[in-house]
A and B are shown apart, each in its own frame.
Chain A
Amino acid sequence: MPETMTDAPALGETVDLRAAFDGAGIGEVLAGLERDLVGLRPVKARIREIAALLLVERVRQGCGLATEAPTLHMSFTGNPGTGKTTVALRMASILKALGFVRQGQLVSVTRDDLVGQYIGHTAPKTKEILKKAIGGVLFIDEAYYLYRPDNERDYGQEAIEILLQVMENQREDLVVILAGYADRMEDFFTLNPGFRSRIAHHIDFPDYADDELLAISESMLARQHYRLSPEAGAVMARYIARRRAQPYFANARSIRNALDRARLRQANRLMAAPQPIPKAALTIIEPADLLASRVFAAPAADGSD
C-alpha cells in the first residue's frame, strides 16, 4: 500500500487477472449462469462485463490504485417471466464472490413489503426490510408501484425517499435491484430522477424465442424427472407458438404453468389406465396431456393448425 494516495504505486510488475478471476470463484458462477439459463444473450454479456469491471476494480484496489466504492445498483427491465428474479439471485452470488456484498443474500420485495398502511407505518417497515437486506441484494419487483403519481399523499413516496438515501449513503452495505416492465420503469425513472442517477446498470431482458422456450420446458421437466415423448415435443413447440399469440403470455412462467397442468392431466390419464403401467410411464408426458389445453381449442392466429 502506498503511503499517500497521490503517489502512483509502482506499476512495473504484471498482474494475473486470470488467477484473480479463478481465485474469486467467479468463473463457476458465470459458467453456471451460462449452463442453467437458456437464451438471455444480452443479459449474460452485460453480467460478464459487470463482473469484469468489478474484478478489475478489486485488483486495482489490491495494487493500491485509487478506487471508490462503485455504484452497483441496477435496474432489470423486461416482460414477465424473462428471468429477472433468477438472474438477480445469480447477481447476488457474483457480488458476494467478488466481495462487493458481504453476505450475498437476496431479499425480494414488492410495494406491500415496503409501504405501510397508515401514517408512520412506512418508515419502520422500509427500514426493517433494509436491515434484512444489509450485506446482500434488495430486489424490488415491479418497482413502479412504489410511486403513485395520481395520489400525492401516497405513502410510497416516503419509502422512495428512504431507499434513495440508503442507496446513496450505504453503497458498500447493500445493492438495490429494481425490476419491472420496460415501459413502466421508464415512466417511473422519468418521474423519479433520483433513482435514474443512482442506478449504474440498466439491463434489458429480451423475450425468449420459441426454441428457447422449448429448451426451457425440457429443462424444467428434467429437473422434476419428467420428459416429453418425441411426439409431445412437437406438440409443445406448437403449443408455444400458439400460446405466445394469446393474451397474458408470460414467457417462461406461462410454460411452467402449462407444464404443471400437463402433469395434472398425465396423472389423471395414468390413474384411468385399467391395468398396471410400466414405471417409465410415470416420467413421460404424452401429446394428449398437452393437446387437452384450451390453447389448442382456439383457432390458431395464422390458421396453420
Chain B
Amino acid sequence: MRLTQGCFSFLPDLTDEQISRQIQYCLDKGWAVNLEYTDDPHPRNTYWEMWGLPMFDIRDAKAIMSELAECRRIHDDCYIRLSAFDATHTWESLRISFIVQRPRDEPGFMLTRAEAAGRTLRYETRAYVVQKPEGARYGNSG
C-alpha cells in the first residue's frame, strides 16, 4: 500500500529534477529546508528522525540535493521526507512537506476491530512492518 502524506502525495513520486525545483522554490522564499527519515509509517508518527539540523543559510538546491543523496545512501530503505520551515513572523511553521523516498516494498496497515462495552467498536491501525524491531523493518538495511 503506497503511503500518501504531505504535498504531492497523490501524484507519482517526484523525480530528482522536480524535487530540486521544489527545493529551489523553498530556498527562494527564504525557508529552511529539513530532511527527516523513519521506518515507522504510521500516520500519527509525526516525529521522524532528523537528518542533521535544518539547513539554514543555503541558497542553492544543489547543496540540499547532495545531503539528500547522502541520506538516501545511508537510509536506502526508509521513508525520507523533505520539509521547509518559514520563520516569518505569524507563519513560524512548516510551509511544505513531501515524501522524497519510500521503501521498495510497502506492506501497508492492518485494521483491527475490538468490541468494547455496549458493542462499541474501537478501531486500530497498525503498520505490518512495526512487528519487526526498529531498523530491521524494510529489507535488510537501515
Chain A residues packing against B (C-beta within 8 Å): 102-103, 105, 130-132, 134-136, 173
> Counting CB contacts under 8 A, is B60 at the interface?
yes
Query: How far, in whole Å, are A206 and B59 apart by their CA atoms in the complex?
Result: 33
Whether A105 contacts B62 by the Cβ 8 Å rule is no
Contacts of B14 in A (CB 8 A): none
* Closest B residue by C-beta to A102: B60
> Counting CB contacts under 8 A, is B7 at the interface?
no
Q: Other CB < 8 Å A-B pairs besides A132-B59, A135-B59, A136-B60, 5 of them?
A: A131-B66, A134-B59, A134-B63, A135-B62, A173-B62
46-92 of chain B: CB within 8 A of chain A: 55, 57-60, 62-63, 66-67
* Closest B residue by C-beta to A101: B60
Query: How far, in whole Å, are A104 and B16 apart by their CA atoms in the complex?
Result: 23
Query: How far, in whole Å, are A102 and B59 apart by their CA atoms in the complex?
Result: 9
Chain B residues packing against A (C-beta within 8 Å): 55, 57-60, 62-63, 66-67
Whether A132 contacts B62 by the Cβ 8 Å rule is no
Contacts of B63 in A (CB 8 A): 130-132, 134-135
B21 CB, nearest partner CB in chain A, Å: 12
Contacts of B55 in A (CB 8 A): 131
* Closest B residue by C-beta to A103: B59
Query: How far, in whole Å, are A131 and B59 apart by their CA atoms in the complex?
Result: 8
Contacts of B66 in A (CB 8 A): 131
14 A–B pairs (Cβ distance < 8 Å), ordered by A: A102-B60, A103-B59, A131-B55, A131-B58, A131-B63, A131-B66, A134-B58, A134-B59, A134-B62, A134-B63, A135-B59, A136-B59, A173-B60, A173-B62
Contacts of B62 in A (CB 8 A): 102, 134-135, 173
Contacts of A136 in B (CB 8 A): 59-60
A142 CB, nearest partner CB in chain B, Å: 22
Query: How far, in whole Å, are A102 and B27 apart by their CA atoms in the complex?
Result: 13
Query: How far, in whole Å, are A204 and B57 apart by their CA atoms in the complex?
Result: 31
Contacts of A130 in B (CB 8 A): 63
A127 CB, nearest partner CB in chain B, Å: 9
Contacts of A131 in B (CB 8 A): 55, 58, 63, 66-67
B134 CB, nearest partner CB in chain A, Å: 26
A282 CB, nearest partner CB in chain B, Å: 35
Interface centre among B57, B60, B62, B66 (most CB of A within 10 A): B60
A42 CB, nearest partner CB in chain B, Å: 31
B96 CB, nearest partner CB in chain A, Å: 20
* Closest A residue by C-beta to B59: A103
Closest 7 CB pairs of A and B: A135-B60, A131-B63, A134-B63, A103-B59, A134-B60, A105-B59, A135-B59
B70 CB, nearest partner CB in chain A, Å: 10
Query: How far, in whole Å, are A105 and B30 apart by their CA atoms in the complex?
Result: 13
Query: How far, in whole Å, are A134 and B60 apart by their CA atoms in the complex?
Result: 6
* Closest B residue by C-beta to A170: B62
